[in-house]
Amino acid sequence: MEFPKALYKAPGPHEIHGHLLDYATAADAGDLAAAKAAGWHESTTAAVFAYEEERAAAQAKRVEEANARANALAAAQAEKQKKV
């Protein structure tokens, strides 16, 4: 593996290959390991893919939470109707 090595993270302020990314360099294997642990990637494609997966997971969580709130509200309304 050659160093310094370019690393990428999405989103960022720079347009690279049609995506907004940030970039940095790893001077050695220790820098590379630390950067990867902090969410940096060795390719623009990997950086974009990871970001899109994070966004999709966050959206799924929001939908799940909204569904739970709606179900709780429906259950509370059904319980209220039983008491009437």
Return d(Cα 40, Cα 51) in angstroms, integer.
10
Average pLDDT of the segment spanning 55-60: 98
Residue positions counted in the chain: 84
Coil, strand or helix at 25: strand
Reported as a single tens digit per residue, the pLDDT across 11-31 is: 999 999 999 999 999 999 999
Which pair of tokens denotes residue 19? Answer: 């995506």
Model-level pTM greater than 0.85? no
CB 50 within 8 A of CB 21: no
